[in-house]
Chains A and B, each alone.
Chain A
Amino acid sequence: MSEPALSLDKITCTFVSRDNKNERYTALRDATLHIAPGEFVSVVGPTGCGKSTLLNVGAGLLEPSAGSVRVFGQPLKGINHRAGYMFQGEALMPWRSAIENVMAGLEFANVPKEKARAQAMDWLQRVGLSHAVNKYPHQMSGGMRKRAMLAQTMIRDPDIILMDEPFSALDIQTRQLMENEVLEIWMSKRKAVLFITHDLDEAIAMSDRVVILSAGPGTHIIGEFKIDLPRPRDVAEVRSHPRFTELHKAIWDVLREEVLKGYDQQKRA
């Protein structure tokens, strides 16, 4: 079998409190996850379980306390330049218009301005923003900003796409539309995707594989499910597929206990 696009081996992340050096928090413990090229993997888990930590490690934004990160077989040092990262929060530069934001990645790579502009125009069209080329982020709706962020991430043609609950702030209709758009783009490009979500429906509808994390602290992987639903899928329609219901039940049985644990911890905190 070919080299995984991204492999996280026995990742442990311990944070030390800035005020009290003895106060430690282990977000991840011995988490191992391999993603094949072209594979769509979702990670689900209870709130506060270190899903984003896992993603930041894969992106090279966070160095793990222990364990190794490999990108297409090469050990990762610093930022993972083969990856694109779609953040949960607002990541567009507010002083740049939509097109300037989308072309930023190419600009940083010193692509000639004209070429970068043309490509950005193309991507804006693909995500349905050709009417908002010169709009600034504050003039766009939440859904439009997410589209711009998607184009901004994809324009660099990354081999690995990391997504951190990208649609959690959107209303359900916009969300399903965007999920379908992401799937469509993914089908045409077939890049490795690591998709973080707390929404099990979303995870099953979109992925090839769903990975379940335990409640924190010391989060590790407690289950893995292959999603053998036929593609191409429509995220709204696939939910009524009998296999979807089966998978949902099987995964939820594993996840439920962890969710309750996580909920309990938050209540106590």
Chain B
Amino acid sequence: MINRNGPDMWNSIKPNTRNFRLWQIIILAVILGTWYFASLNDNVAFFFGRPLGVAESIWNWFVVDGDIYRHLGVTLSETLLAFVIGTVFGMLFGLWLGLSKTASLVLDPYLTALNSMPRVILAPIFAMWFGLGIWSKVALAVTLVFFIVFFNVYQGIKEVSPTLLDNAKMLGANRKQLLRHVYLPSATSWVFSSLHASVGLAFVGAVVGEYLGSASGVGYLILQAEGTFDINTVVAGIIVLTVFALLLDLLVSLTEKYFLTWKPTSGETEKL
């Protein structure tokens, strides 16, 4: 009986495009269950925390004490500032070097050097320059965002179709109009293609900066908890960060959808 029904049953419940949500929940349940039962052992709990303890930490942060909001606000404003500043500078630099052959020739080795340097190491220097407030974190995150945007825009400018340029010239576009109506839109589409990476890195920069020395932010909370071996709070902090990283990513996807309506998506068909 079992042998005969086994494959049939498996076929009806195995992951497919319809029941994938269910399977996602099952995986989560398995992880949480394993974690829960394993952490009944005190040794395991010391290193991994307990799910209920983590949930309690999160509950306290958001509902009982409500003190996470200030820290989240700090981390998110650092992320946002770093993202905006890094993108603007990256775009300007990318446009400049993409359009000026001599400038890119001269600056090439320096940019390569700066990009290959592990930039997290600049955190102590930024802390000295900008203090322990938000600006040292913003600076660190900017160095991460800048290069992503810069290289994308630079490449984008170089790959603008020559036919498109010639056509715009023949239609009477002067240099300024070429920049505004051909180079800039083309560069913007490249900025968008790097948006997921650059927003993610802005967040990473902000949190790492906080972790290395600060007085507020989610990274700071994690650092504090780690100092007292409060593993539950550390894990809670990680979960909160992950959730917010996902939310940011979702936000980026929505913005992208709104701004890049002109971009073809593969297999797009007319909707009836």
Residues of A in contact with B (beta carbons under 8 Å apart) = 59, 61, 79-81, 83-85, 87-97, 104-105, 107-109, 136-139, 152, 156
Known A90-B163, A108-B177: A136·B171 in contact at CB below 8 Å: no
What are 5 residue pairs bridging A and B, where the CB atoms are less than 8 Å apart in the complex? A89-B161, A93-B164, A97-B262, A109-B172, A136-B261
| Assembly CA distance A139 to B263 (angstroms) | 9
| Assembly CA distance A88 to B167 (angstroms) | 11
For the complex with contacts A83-B170, A90-B164, A108-B174, 8 further pairs of A-B residues with Cβ separation under 8 Å are A59-B170, A61-B166, A85-B170, A89-B161, A93-B181, A95-B189, A107-B181, A136-B261
Is B182 an interface residue when CB atoms closer than 8 A count as contact?
Answer: yes
Query: Which chain B positions have C-beta within 8 A of A107?
Result: 181
Do A95 and B262 touch (CB < 8 A)? yes
Q: 8 tightest A-B contacts by CB?
A: A138-B264, A91-B167, A105-B171, A85-B170, A136-B262, A108-B172, A95-B185, A89-B163
Residues of B in contact with A (beta carbons under 8 Å apart) = 161, 163-164, 166-174, 177, 181-182, 185-186, 189, 261-264, 268
Do A138 and B263 touch (CB < 8 A)? yes
Query: Which chain A positions have C-beta within 8 A of B268?
Result: 139
Do A152 and B263 touch (CB < 8 A)? no
| Assembly CA distance A137 to B73 (angstroms) | 42
| Assembly CA distance A138 to B266 (angstroms) | 11
Do A84 and B170 touch (CB < 8 A)? yes
Known A105-B172, A156-B171, A156-B172: A93·B263 in contact at CB below 8 Å: no
A82 to chain B, nearest CB (A): 11
| Assembly CA distance A83 to B163 (angstroms) | 16
Cβ-defined partner of A91 (8 Å) among B163, B174, B263 = B163
Known A104-B181, A138-B262, A138-B264: A87·B168 in contact at CB below 8 Å: no
Query: Which chain A positions have C-beta within 8 A of B264?
Result: 138-139
| Assembly CA distance A97 to B201 (angstroms) | 33
Q: Which B residue's beta carbon lies closest to that of A89?
A: B163
Q: Which of A84, A94, A156 has the most CB of B within 10 A?
A: A94
Q: Which A residue's beta carbon lies closest to that of B184?
A: A95
Query: Which chain B positions have C-beta within 8 A of A152?
Result: 171
B31 to chain A, nearest CB (A): 42
Do B262 and A94 touch (CB < 8 A)? yes
Known A89-B163, A91-B164: A96·B262 in contact at CB below 8 Å: yes
| Assembly CA distance A84 to B166 (angstroms) | 11
Query: Which chain B positions have C-beta within 8 A of A87?
Result: 163, 166-167
| Assembly CA distance A109 to B263 (angstroms) | 27
Do B262 and A85 touch (CB < 8 A)? no
Query: Which chain A positions have C-beta within 8 A of B167?
Result: 85, 87, 91-92
Q: Which A residue's beta carbon lies closest to that of B172?
A: A108
B201 to chain A, nearest CB (A): 26
| Assembly CA distance A80 to B171 (angstroms) | 10
Do B163 and A104 touch (CB < 8 A)? no
A217 to chain B, nearest CB (A): 22
Q: Which A residue's beta carbon lies closest to that of B265?
A: A138
Do A108 and B173 touch (CB < 8 A)? yes
Query: Which chain A positions have C-beta within 8 A of B164?
Result: 90-91, 93
Query: Which chain A positions have C-beta within 8 A of B166?
Result: 59, 61, 85, 87, 91
Query: Which chain A positions have C-beta within 8 A of B186?
Result: 95
Q: Which B residue's beta carbon lies closest to that of A59?
A: B170
Query: Which chain A positions have C-beta within 8 A of B173?
Result: 104, 108
| Assembly CA distance A83 to B189 (angstroms) | 31
B192 to chain A, nearest CB (A): 11
Q: Which B residue's beta carbon lies closest to that of A149?
A: B167
Query: Which chain B positions have C-beta within 8 A of A139?
Result: 264, 268
Query: Which chain B positions have C-beta within 8 A of A104?
Result: 168, 171, 173, 181
Query: Which chain B positions have C-beta within 8 A of A137?
Result: 262
Q: Which A residue's beta carbon lies closest to that of B174?
A: A108
Query: Which chain B positions have C-beta within 8 A of A138?
Result: 262-264
| Assembly CA distance A267 to B167 (angstroms) | 32
A203 to chain B, nearest CB (A): 23
Query: Which chain B positions have C-beta within 8 A of A108?
Result: 168, 171-174, 177, 181
Query: Which chain A positions have C-beta within 8 A of B168?
Result: 93, 104, 108
Do B170 and A61 touch (CB < 8 A)? yes
Query: Which chain B positions have C-beta within 8 A of A81?
Result: 172
B257 to chain A, nearest CB (A): 14
Cβ-defined partner of B161 (8 Å) among A79, A84, A90 = A90
| Assembly CA distance A136 to B170 (angstroms) | 21
| Assembly CA distance A265 to B51 (angstroms) | 75
| Assembly CA distance A61 to B182 (angstroms) | 17
| Assembly CA distance A152 to B171 (angstroms) | 8
B268 to chain A, nearest CB (A): 8
Q: Which of B161, B167, B173, B177 has the most CB of A within 10 A?
A: B167
